[in-house]
Structure 1
Amino acid sequence: MLLRKCALGGFRALLCRTYTQNQKHIVVHPEIRQALSQKQPIVALESTIITHGMPVPQNVETALQVEEMVRQNGAVPATIGIIDGCIKVGLTQEELMKLAHKPREQVIKCSRRDLPYVVAAQQSGGTTVAATMIVAHQVGIPIFATGGIGGVHREGHVTMDVSADLVELGRTPVAVVCSGVKSILDIPRTLEYLETQGVCVASYASMGGVFPDFYTRDSGCKVPYNLETAADAARLLRAWRELDLQSGVLIGVPIPEEFAADKSAIDAAIEQANAEAQAQGVSGKEVTPFLLSHIAGITKGRSLQANIALIKNNAAVAAQIASAWVAGNGHQCGDSREPKKKPVVVGASILDLSFRVKDMHGLHLDGATYKSVAKHAAGGVGRNIAEGIYKLYGEVNLISAVGNDHFAQMLRQLMPAALQSNLIVDAQHATSLCSVIFDRLGDCKLILGDMDVHDSITTAALKAKSELFSQAPLIVMDSNLSEQAMSSTLQLAQQFQVPVFFEPTDMFIAGKPFKLPAELTQHIRLLKPNLHELKTIVEAITGQAVKHQPDTKQEQSELLKQTKGLLRQIDTRFNCIIATLGNHGVLLSIRSDAETDPSKLLSLSPSGEHTTLFYAPPKLQHIVNVSGAGDSFCAGFITALLKQCHTLDECVATGFASAERALLSESAVPDSYIKEGDNFESYFQQIEEKMQRKRI
């Protein structure tokens, strides 16, 4: 996932939160990228367990089980490894298998010192605790789960054999959740070394602060602090992040009691394995895997089972801590000192029901029963745009209305939980329902809608949420609102000096806000009408009828000429009008200074001279659903603006890329704009390279 340094400079900030130039060798899996963007709890996982820690097939089986433990405890797993010189954050199952089955001599056990060589030589590697911490920190993941860390080796005071893990903990701000220091090491000296490095060390749910030693629950050493619960650990990590100490935290979790080894037996096995290592001249980074392998043989596999049990338990605990951190508004991902401002969307939430007739004979409104295929989905222009912004930008407040009925329950189940906190519940009205009937060829024949619940978005309800508006960088408003609700929304925009993006929704109601006083409508700085809605808006603003009937099926040059004629009648009232022209593309009328600085589109100052630009997207085959493409375009375009992309082309390409994802989805808003095995940046890049742009 290498981004072009020049044209994609602005988009690098769009979905890549903590990247710097030295990270061009790091590929972040789309699921991890989206989790970072949406501030979801994430747990980093190392890969030496796959390459050097366990034999096949236990290594792959354990890696997958550990990832599943993270998911079951509410977080997203991000296994880190290096394949053919590319550092991967979030290995796929295929990549895990590839790494696991490479011959051992072709896979390097990577610490900090090894990373430059492995990347430059395009080799593969398993990341140690130290290397995993480095990569996790660079991409913005602050919690990492592993089995046990390295430490000061026995006789380390003579040999000076000290693990790089300890040094990394002293200089890289990542919290490491583990079962303490591996039993094969000198644990007292390791803890002394960590104290010297300034590392905060704590035990977890351990009586009396006893520190674990990997295979057993009691190393014989105590640490200053014990964390009883995930919430306790999350509070510590929040304070650690706020203090910006630039050093790590080590949390020692005892192995589950039923898997703990007998201390005397494991100590005897370690002594025997150490003697064999010295006899065979094993040294350096080969010592740990040699000892673990021989201890497994000596204990007849019991140590391997204990190893598997403890790392799964550590992953579960790390996920619980990460979830508690996020739930406590700890801003796990990104900079907690600069929280992202949330745009506000005020508009409709609708439960869409569709029926596609299967009968061969014609469809008539004659009371007959027709066989059909029924589907239901979450809809509503405001809701669609809000969900799109949430999935792309990560933050949004949706103000919408639902009833207190079964339809509301169905709608809520289809909506992200993050969009539901500001829903207005009106027990006097049914949840908005839209029923669409298609014939067997897919042509829409009838639409029935119950929209009365939208009147529940009243002046009082909006003023009660005024704090949301006061902190918003942008307000998005759709035309399903009553005139009173529109007036109140624009009054709040005026009060807090926030620009408004207007989505006209339908040609019959597109002109509704322009009946309001000009001092309110002047805060509408952006709008996205289709050709019919644009005609309605022009007539509402100018008070004059448009004589010709817009038609997107006419020859393109004539279509652009007529559309530009309509735009010129109203363009100076706005910063940006995005006129959608069906499969032709979009015609943008923008204030001229925004062509080089798109942030001007959010300005409340007068717009002055305007420039008209036409963008034609690349052709798309196998379209699945057209119902939410325009709303996803809005979400992508708005996200690019809020993320301060550097070029207007990037903003439009982000809109097109988002719309295409929706066109390929069964639902109005796709489950994810980032497909597994893909990344949104490369998709966006393809769109930008293929779309056509010309000045009109």
Structure 2
Amino acid sequence: MLLKKCFSHGTRVLRNRKFSTRQHIVVHPDVRHALAQKHPVVALESTIITHGMPVPENVQTALQVEQEVRNKGAIPATIGIIDGCIKVGLTQEELMELAQKPRSEVIKCSRRDLPYVVAMQQSGGTTVAATMIVAHRVGIPIFATGGIGGVHREGHITLDVSADLVELGRTPVAVVCSGVKSILDIPRTLEYLETQGVCVASYESSGGVFPDFYTRDSGSKVPYNLPTAAHAARLLRAWRQMELQSGVLIGVPIPAEYAANKSDIDAAIQAANAEAQAQGISGKEVTPFLLAHISQLTQGRSLQANIALIRNNAAVAAQIACELAAGSRSSPAIGKSSLKKPLVVGASILDLSFKVTEQRQMQLDGATYSAVTKQAAGGVGRNVAEGIYKLYGDVNLISAVGGDQLGHILRQLMPAALQSGLIVDKKCATSLCSLIFDQSGDCKLILGDMEVHRSITPEVLTARADLFRTAPLIVMDSNISEQAMASLLQLAQRYQVPVFFEPTDMFIAGKPFRLRPDLTQHIRLLKPNMHELKTIVETITGQPVDWQPDTKVQRSELLEQAKQLLQRIECHFNCIIATLGDHGVLLSIRSDAEFDASKLLALSPSCGHITRFYAAPKLHSIVNVSGAGDSFCAGFITALLKEQYSLDECVAAGFVSAERALLSESAVPATYFHDAQAFESSLQQTLKTLQRQSI
């Protein structure tokens, strides 16, 4: 069914497990894409944010740790729970949201806590045990943390043993850490891990000396030492092939310059333990209390050591993950993804939007209006590409940004998978658009600097010819130059690839149709609004249209006007999706596509046309209108490329995707649907209520 590959890896792993958390886990698209493509991913916990460090060091460290993973070529996946939803790959906004919640409202989650936190829609920071469980559920084999829990001092009397140790014995995830926390009984912890069948090794440590968090030598040794990331990956590869169903623990010593004096740290631990007993601290509150008290006793030096070691562990884990992924990709047993990547060529823009909050009528008369502002990643090409990436599962994007601070901000807001095709032009400013919305959310004015899009030159496109050759569809927006359009259409002609044209704006909608007809014949699909449709009709026919489109008129009158325009140009295309505001969409399609939507991608001439009107489903709580049309495009294209859906289903896919955008603060939602089942449910519901009529 539609989008199954979109929610691929995590959903597949969950399917046959006794405890299925499929409906409760949301995997960030970057993480999902990396897992599907066998790219390296490193899981990260969230208790350092919620319980392990004070503000603001917790947030700063979490972001630094993620950057360490990226710097080494892997994708970070910080795991946390927000309002009952388990998130794999927290966005920066979600990370901040979790950090800002009062500590009393955030639960420190181990295995035993997960059902309650999910059922009661609570928020939680995941411990080593919980992070291992979730990482394994979605298929992430490597997890980096600071230090693991263990057998507490006097644990032989109190039986206080961390759930981390039991989890390592039954969950096959490799944990990269700086050993067992110094506050614990390390020899007994290592004995317990041996009983649990956990393979324990040191990393770059002569003689197999095991670290103890703040210092490089715990006084205990382990049987094995891994001198390099390649050796560690070799061990993990054998471990995975043997399917032992237990974890691996790799102890990485803290960088020498941050290591504490062992006698000083032991004295601080003894004092902190005595204070914990005096205050009656017990259970899962012991570790955060001791760490905080030790930080006070060492005047903050232990906190700096903690930050240094977790960053170092993340870097080492990423190196190991890259080595492991490289070996997996070279294995003949691993097949390549069957997805053919569509190609999007168009604008990436930083949008600055203003929504007027006053009730008085807006006029361009120099007056000041109170407004709510918002900054977001935008640009039609970029929006459509991100939508396809999140819905279909993969896409290539060719776009341009400046080498300035705005470009840096825009890239941070974009999924990493979309950035490989970005052109960074240091001579140009990043495109910035100011969008003015009235009280009802209608866009009244757009001001934009589009110069950087000229960096998408014919030479740039020709150099990326392989992306055109392998694409099942090319999506082009009208922000690129006519010269670039000509080059794009020549490549489409060379490789016989259909083109989907997104007109973008009524003043530039006719741009490609000023080119030679033998080039423009490869534009098989387009999605104009009424103003853009008028421009396109005038450009193709060379004749003026003597009326102004108005979506506020009666629906019957609007449909008649739209149909008359479509009939003047429909023979040039397989499909024209005319958007009619909140009325819905009017499609003009080649007649043989009514029962075989794949015909919309055909390069052969059209054989007669029919028109179908689809009324837009009603939605009452609209949050943002800026990206709904782009999400409709992404949903429609996704269903079309799957080549197994009817025309009605393609339209329904467009509507349900647009609906998610309307309910999102950003132009493209962070996540469209939790999983394939959620999408299918929405799609079937929309199909039942879809109002279609022939015109």
Query: Could you tell me how far apart the structure 2 residues matched to 1:520 and 1:329 are?
Result: 46
Deviations 1:93-152 (A, max 9, x none): 998999986999xx99637xx989999999999977555423212224433245655789
Query: Could you tell me how far apart the structure 1 residues matched to 2:328 and 2:101 are?
Result: 29
Quickly say closer, same or farther: Cα 1:548–1:119, change in 2 above 3 A.
closer
Moved more, 520-529 or 34-43: 34-43
Query: Could you tell me how far apart the structure 2 residues matched to 1:362 and 1:117 are?
Result: 54
Query: Could you tell me how far apart the structure 1 residues matched to 2:595 and 2:151 are?
Result: 57
Please state how far the C-alpha of 1:170 moved relative to its aligned partner. Answer: 7.3
Query: Could you tell me how far apart the structure 1 residues matched to 2:437 and 2:639 are?
Result: 35
Quickly say closer, same or farther: Cα 1:313–1:83, change in 2 above 3 A.
farther
Equivalent residue for 2:662? 660
**CA RMSD of the aligned region, Å?**
6.4
Point out where structure 2 has 5 or more consecutive residues left out of the alignment: 35-39, 68-75
Equivalent residue for 1:695? 693
Please state how far the C-alpha of 1:460 moved relative to its aligned partner. Answer: 2.7
Equivalent residue for 2:616? 616
Instruction: Tell me the SS of whatever aligns to 1:493.
Output: helix
Please state how far the C-alpha of 1:527 moved relative to its aligned partner. Answer: 1.3
Quickly say closer, same or farther: Cα 1:572–1:310, change in 2 above 3 A.
farther
CA contact (8 A) 2:622 2:663 kept: no
Query: Could you tell me how far apart the structure 1 residues matched to 2:455 and 2:101 are?
Result: 56
Q: State yes or no: 1:110 paired with 2:111.
A: yes
CA contact (8 A) 2:207 2:221 kept: no
Deviations 1:2-41 (A, max 9, x none): xxxxxxx6346545652144575356676x5245246596
Equivalent residue for 2:28? 33
Please state how far the C-alpha of 1:464 moved relative to its aligned partner. Answer: 1.5
Query: Could you tell me how far apart the structure 2 residues matched to 1:577 and 1:128 are?
Result: 52
Please state how far the C-alpha of 1:253 moved relative to its aligned partner. Answer: 2.7
Deviations 1:148-195 (A, max 9, x none): 5578999x9xxxx9999678657755221233357535466567668x
Quickly say closer, same or farther: Cα 1:67–1:524, change in 2 above 3 A.
same
Equivalent residue for 2:62? 70
CA contact (8 A) 1:653 1:684 kept: no
Quickly say closer, same or farther: Cα 1:126–1:218, change in 2 above 3 A.
same
Query: Could you tell me how far apart the structure 1 residues matched to 2:31 and 2:194 are?
Result: 35
Equivalent residue for 2:583? 584
Quickly say closer, same or farther: Cα 1:484–1:636, change in 2 above 3 A.
same
Instruction: Tell me the SS of whatever aligns to 2:691.
Output: strand
Equivalent residue for 2:72? none
Instruction: Tell me the SS of whatever aligns to 1:177.
Output: strand
Deviations 1:300-330 (A, max 9, x none): 9989x99988875554334334665788995
CA contact (8 A) 1:130 1:165 kept: yes
Q: State yes or no: 1:225 paired with 2:225.
A: yes
Query: Could you tell me how far apart the structure 1 residues matched to 2:411 and 2:517 are?
Result: 36
Please state how far the C-alpha of 1:556 moved relative to its aligned partner. Answer: 0.7
Deviations 1:412-446 (A, max 9, x none): 24421656654557799887787889999999998
Quickly say closer, same or farther: Cα 1:93–1:681, change in 2 above 3 A.
farther
CA contact (8 A) 2:345 2:397 kept: yes
CA contact (8 A) 1:355 1:373 kept: no
Query: Could you tell me how far apart the structure 1 residues matched to 2:420 and 2:205 are?
Result: 38
Query: Could you tell me how far apart the structure 1 residues matched to 2:114 and 2:427 are?
Result: 63
Instruction: Tell me the SS of whatever aligns to 1:553.
Output: coil
Deviations 1:192-241 (A, max 9, x none): 668x77x4x5424534442235676435314433356xxx47x9559956
CA contact (8 A) 2:61 2:307 kept: yes
Quickly say closer, same or farther: Cα 1:614–1:73, change in 2 above 3 A.
same
Query: Could you tell me how far apart the structure 1 residues matched to 2:293 and 2:546 are?
Result: 91
Query: Could you tell me how far apart the structure 2 residues matched to 1:456 and 1:93 are?
Result: 35
Instruction: Tell me the SS of whatever aligns to 1:554.
Output: coil
Instruction: Tell me the SS of whatever aligns to 1:18.
Output: helix
Q: State yes or no: 1:470 paired with 2:469.
A: yes
CA contact (8 A) 1:142 1:333 kept: no
Please state how far the C-alpha of 1:66 moved relative to its aligned partner. Answer: 5.5
Please state how far the C-alpha of 1:648 moved relative to its aligned partner. Answer: 2.3
CA contact (8 A) 1:350 1:411 kept: no
Deviations 1:359-382 (A, max 9, x none): 999867xxxx87789999876543
Please state how far the C-alpha of 1:467 moved relative to its aligned partner. Answer: 2.5
Identity of aligned residues (%): 49
Deviations 1:570-609 (A, max 9, x none): 5565454221112222223456787788666556566767
Query: Could you tell me how far apart the structure 1 residues matched to 2:442 and 2:289 are?
Result: 70
Once the two structures are superposed, the pairs formed by residues 106-255 of structure 1 within 5 Å of their partners are: 110=111, 129=128, 132-146=131-145, 172-180=171-179, 184=185, 186=188, 189=191, 199=199, 201-213=200-212, 217-219=216-218, 220-226=220-226, 232=229, 236-237=232-233, 240=236, 245=241, 246=243, 248-254=247-253
Instruction: Tell me the SS of whatever aligns to 1:415.
Output: helix
Please state how far the C-alpha of 1:551 moved relative to its aligned partner. Answer: 3.0
Query: Could you tell me how far apart the structure 1 residues matched to 2:338 and 2:399 are?
Result: 24
Point out where structure 1 has 5 or more consecutive residues left out of the alignment: 1-8, 51-57, 277-286
Query: Could you tell me how far apart the structure 2 residues matched to 1:422 and 1:260 are?
Result: 49
Instruction: Tell me the SS of whatever aligns to 1:612.
Output: strand
Equivalent residue for 2:653? 651
CA contact (8 A) 1:11 1:650 kept: no
> Given residue 694 of structure 1, which amino acid in structure 2 is its aligned partner?
R
Query: Could you tell me how far apart the structure 1 residues matched to 2:614 and 2:442 are?
Result: 29
Count how many residue pairs are aligned between Structure 1 and Structure 2.
Answer: 638
Task: Give the structure-2-normalised TM-score.
Answer: 0.66
Query: Could you tell me how far apart the structure 1 residues matched to 2:293 and 2:440 are?
Result: 70
Equivalent residue for 1:555? 554
Once the two structures are superposed, the pairs formed by residues 619-638 of structure 1 within 5 Å of their partners are: 619-620=619-620, 626=626, 628-638=627-637
CA contact (8 A) 2:174 2:249 kept: yes
> Given residue 493 of structure 1, which amino acid in structure 2 is its aligned partner?
A
Once the two structures are superposed, the pairs formed by residues 84-95 of structure 1 within 5 Å of their partners are: none
Query: Could you tell me how far apart the structure 1 residues matched to 2:115 and 2:621 are?
Result: 42
CA contact (8 A) 2:500 2:524 kept: yes
CA contact (8 A) 1:635 1:655 kept: yes
Query: Could you tell me how far apart the structure 1 residues matched to 2:225 and 2:45 are?
Result: 25
